[in-house]
């Protein structure tokens, strides 16, 4: 079947869309433990980009796990498939000319490498939201750590499932050492030149 799929050559390209939007498109990927601050920071970064007239879209567990990936669990192979599908969706959105913000725990290094392969290196920025497990557990935004300690959740990253921290992220944010505003400024300062 695959050999009969021959791509059609469309006349409107990514480059055309970027020129129309007056900015480049790429994927900003936030990785970190649950409760580390990925969504909080990504959300404010998106608001700031919106104010600058940048066309954006945010992907997170809420809009992905409840829709296209609702058939997937948190078992390692399903986590890999979860990230692969998100990367493919993000890739289409980047092609559509958007700056995509994706906030997912994405605990496995090989899965994050795969995102880079799908969207291509130049379109990928990795932001490591580095918050200690102790602090995430103290915040326990969704009550998941408590449930996990009580044995009610399997495969909880940081507790009963590993988190492989990025070795060379584009940006590292230590939320125990800075405010949300400072984190957002660090990220904006890094990405603003890349929009041009
Ligand atoms: P995640 O998306 O990584 O699971 P959330 O953004 O949902 O995490 O939750 C992070 C929690 O931590 C929020 O309640 C947020 O208000 C709090 N928080 C405290 N300090 C910071 C900080 N410096 N940066 C980001 N979040 C912070």
pLDDT digits (tens, 9 = 90+) for 174-189: 999 999 999 999 999 9
Helices (H) and strands (E) in the chain, counts: 8, 5
Tell me the two tokens of residue 83.
């990230």
- Residues making up the chain, counted from first to last: 196
Least confident of 5-19, 78-92, 113-127: 5-19
Question: Do 15 and 187 contact (CB within 8 A), yes or no?
Answer: no
Query: Is the pLDDT assigned to residue 103 strictly greater than 90?
Result: yes
What pTM value is reported for the model? 0.94
Query: Is the pLDDT assigned to residue 1 strictly greater than 80?
Result: no
Instruction: Report CA(61)–ligand 1 centroid distance (Å).
Output: 15
Q: Could you tell me what percent of the chain has a pLDDT over 70?
A: 99
Q: What is the pLDDT of residues 41-86, one digit of tens each?
A: 999 999 999 999 999 999 998 899 999 999 999 899 999 999 999 9
pLDDT at 186: 98
The minimum-distance atom of ligand 1 relative to the CA of 103 is: 2
* Ligand 1: residue whose CA is nearest its atom 25: 37
| Pocket mutation for ligand 1, best pick of 141, 163, 185 (most atoms within 8 Å of C-beta) | 141
Query: Is the pLDDT assigned to residue 92 strictly greater than 90?
Result: yes
- The pLDDT-based confidence of 3 (bands split at 50, 70, 90) is confident
Distance CA 81, CA 70 (A): 12
Q: Which of 25, 36, 58, 106 is catalytic?
A: 106
Query: Is the pLDDT assigned to residue 7 strictly greater than 90?
Result: no
Query: Is the pLDDT assigned to residue 146 strictly greater than 80?
Result: yes
Return the percent helix, strand and coil in the chain, to nearest 5. 45, 15, 40
* Ligand 1: residue whose CA is nearest its atom 26: 37
The minimum-distance atom of ligand 1 relative to the CA of 40 is: 6
CATH number of 13-195: 3.40.50.300
């Amino acid at each position: 079947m695959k050999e009969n799929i021959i791509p059609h050559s469309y006349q409107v390209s990514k480059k055309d869309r970027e020129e129309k939007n007056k900015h480049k498109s790429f994927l900003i990927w936030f990785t970190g433990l649950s409760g580390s601050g990925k969504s909080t920071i990504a959300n404010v970064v998106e608001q700031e980009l919106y104010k600058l007239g940048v066309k954006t879209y945010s992907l997170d567990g809420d809009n992905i796990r409840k829709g296209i990936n609702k058939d997937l669990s948190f078992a390692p192979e399903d986590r890999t498939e979860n990230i692969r599908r998100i990367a493919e969706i993000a890739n289409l959105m980047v092609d559509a000319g958007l700056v995509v913000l994706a906030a997912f725990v994405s605990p496995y290094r090989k899965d994050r490498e795969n995102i880079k392969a799908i969207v291509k290196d130049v379109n990928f920025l990795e932001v490591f939201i580095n918050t200690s497990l102790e602090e995430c557990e103290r915040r326990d935004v969704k009550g998941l750590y408590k449930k996990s300690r009580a044995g009610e959740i399997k495969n909880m990253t940081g507790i009963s499932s590993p988190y492989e921290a990025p070795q060379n992220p584009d940006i590292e944010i230590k939320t125990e050492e800075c405010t949300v505003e400072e984190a957002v400024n660090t990220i904006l300062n890094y990405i603003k030149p890349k929009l041009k």
